[in-house]
């Protein structure tokens, strides 16, 4: 594409953003659809967040992705947030609509669509979600609306119970929060259909760690890890060995990005193109199974 006076700009802001896959994914998508939009990465320190948002408004940026550590603090500078982002207190996508900034959270939707695209139906199923941090919270809010039963396990049990209580209050459901321990995993995994790891256990460089002992996994599970470095964590390798269906963390990154793309452009995202360039960029960064 040729950059000209009509070129619109999207960006990711965070600290750090050096290894973000968003620029390659979105620029490839814009090019594929012939859209006059470019995507860049801006490193923004916490103390510069307000100035960055004012700058985005003044410069007329079309949209932003927001990554750590700004997903929570960014909300105070927005004009409006969608119900999910407001409830979980975190935004990862912003649309600038004639000077008004609208915040969204696409992480949870990204996971649920990734499962569906991999032919994993979560409806009328039991999901076991590991973790109660930011990503887990977004996933839990979406999963509560799409699964029959949700159990949240976290090393600090109180955080799991607090999240479950918030979900039950919001949706009138019966989500359970418990301790992430071997004893509880043994009790819960027998009748679990979908198992999602939303903790950082197994992320590079700690590639030999897994949140679940291998001997507790079984072939009836559909297993997803939101970690994409490495692409195939020990958790996923162990699950694959016992015959479980597995979904890598790249899928979450891909589909949350696709949702952001559609918010900005009102066009279906070319997911295959985005995935191809993301895998290529990861290979350049030395990220392999």
Pairing of strands 63-66, 93-97: antiparallel
Strand spans (E) along the chain: 8-14, 37-43, 63-66, 80-81, 93-97, 100-104, 126-130, 149-154, 176-179, 194-197, 222-225, 245-247
Q: How wide is the angle at C-alpha 162 spanned by C-alphas 156 and 168, nearest 5°? A: 140
Place of tokens 């973790």: 131
- Would you say 175 and 168 are in contact if contact means Cβ atoms under 8 Å apart? yes
Taking the C-alpha atoms of residue 264 and residue 286, their distance in angstroms, rounded to an integer, is: 31
2 belongs to the catalytic site: no
Catalytic residue among 8, 57, 71, 237: 71
Closest by CA position to 167, among listed 85, 88, 70? 88
CB atoms within 10 A of CB 238: 19
Which residues are known to be catalytic? 71
């Amino acid at each position: 594409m040729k950059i000209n006076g009509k070129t619109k700009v999207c960006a990711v802001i965070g600290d750090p953003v050096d290894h973000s896959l968003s620029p390659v994914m979105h620029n490839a998508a814009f090019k594929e659809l012939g859209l006059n939009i470019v995507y860049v990465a801006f490193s923004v320190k916490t103390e510069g967040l307000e100035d960055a948002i004012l700058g985005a408004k003044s410069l007329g940026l079309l949209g932003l992705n927001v990554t750590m550590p700004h997903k929570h603090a960014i909300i105070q500078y927005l004009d409006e947030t969608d119900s999910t982002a407001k409830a979980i207190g975190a935004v990862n996508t912003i649309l600038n609509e004639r000077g008004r900034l609208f915040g969204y959270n696409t992480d949870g939707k990204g996971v649920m669509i990734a499962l569906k695209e991999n032919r994993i139906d979560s409806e009328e199923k039991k999901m076991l979600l590991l973790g109660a941090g930011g990503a887990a919270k977004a996933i839990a809010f979406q999963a509560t609306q799409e699964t029959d039963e949700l159990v949240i396990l976290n090393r600090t049990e109180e955080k799991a119970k607090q999240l479950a209580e918030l979900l039950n209050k919001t949706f009138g459901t019966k989500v359970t929060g418990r301790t992430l321990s071997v004893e509880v995993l043994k009790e819960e995994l027998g009748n679990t259909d979908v198992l999602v790891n939303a903790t950082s256990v197994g992320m590079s460089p700690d590639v030999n760690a897994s949140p679940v002992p291998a001997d507790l996994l079984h072939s009836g599970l559909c297993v997803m890890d939101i970690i994409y470095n490495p692409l195939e964590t020990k958790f996923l390798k162990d699950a694959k060995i016992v015959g479980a269906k597995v979904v890598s963390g790249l899928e979450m990154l891909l589909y949350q990005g696709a949702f952001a793309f559609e918010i900005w452009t009102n066009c279906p995202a070319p997911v295959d193109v985005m995935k191809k360039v993301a895998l290529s960029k990861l290979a350049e960064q030395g990220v392999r199974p």
